[in-house]
A and B are shown apart, each in its own frame.
Chain A
Amino acid sequence: KAGVTQTPRYLIKTRGQQVTLSCSPISGHRSVSWYQQTPGQGLQFLFEYFSETQRNKGNFPGRFSGRQFSNSRSEMNVSTLELGDSALYLCASSLAGQGSFNGYTFGSGTRLTVV
């Protein structure tokens, strides 16, 4: 069973540019969540998608957006990049709605560096 796949693994962008990151969840998983990880800050929740609908959003500015497609694949977009956006962006999928919850399966992340 393939895991969660994130592309690209590494990305270098210039301030002011925009970037799109991609995530393919585990087959059958309909819930996809995005997190930003920076040193000392842990994982900060960005948003969660289920069946192409954004169900929940974290405290990030509107420059951060996302979407989910009918095959559950998800993309997140960051516009007008700032130096502080440099981070590891993690995507996680799960079988949402089950009574018991065994957590998310994370991808390896996309390391974004803004210069």
Chain B
Amino acid sequence: DQQVKQNSPSLSVQEGRISILNCDYTNSMFDYFLWYKKYPAEGPTFLISISSIKDKNEDGRFTVFLNKSAKHLSLHIVPSQPGDSAVYFCAAREYTGGFKTIFGAGTRLFVKA
């Protein structure tokens, strides 16, 4: 039962253009949504988060949009840079007596120079 889904295993974008990574979820009890970036042989690095009571959060080149009615989350990277090439994980947190963060399967982003 995948509560957090990233349906695109990979995405290729030209340098300077916008990268849009998508994520869908099923559990309406999630209170925070997060994006992580992961390079090979390293642990995931926190990128940006958004509370379930907001619909947009921006941090530099990264913006996360939340559409609660559609249970959809997206990460926009503008402009995309070759150093952004990595695997991006969407994650959502719920509290069930303790915190549990559930991750999607990841989307590999390739930014071509």
Contacts and interface: CB of A to CB of B under 8 A. Distances in A.
Interface in B14-62: 31-32, 34, 36, 41-46, 49, 51
Which one of A42, A92, A96 has the greatest number of beta carbons of chain B within 10 Å? A42
Interface in B90-113: 91, 93, 96-106
B63 to A, nearest CB: 16
A75 interface: no
B43 A106 contact: yes
Contact of B46 (A56, A100, A102, A108): A102
Contact size class for B? Answer: 20 to 34
Q: Which of B45, B51, B98, B102: most chain A Cβ within 10 A?
A: B98
A45 B101 contact: yes
A42 B106 contact: yes
A31 B98 CA distance: 10
A102 B31 CA distance: 12
A42 B7 CA distance: 12
Interface in A46-81: 48, 50, 54-56, 58
Contacts of A55: 97-99
Given A35-B103, A56-B100, A103-B36, A43 B44 contact: yes
A64 to B, nearest CB: 15
Contact of A108 (B34, B42, B103): B42
Interface of A: 4, 31, 33, 35, 40-45, 48, 50, 54-56, 58, 90, 92, 94, 96, 100-109
Interface of B: 6, 9, 31-32, 34, 36, 41-46, 49, 51, 89, 91, 93, 96-106
Given A33-B100, A43-B44, A109-B42, 17 more contacts: A35-B103, A42-B103, A43-B91, A44-B103, A48-B99, A48-B100, A56-B97, A56-B98, A56-B100, A94-B99, A96-B99, A101-B51, A103-B34, A106-B45, A107-B43, A108-B41, A108-B42
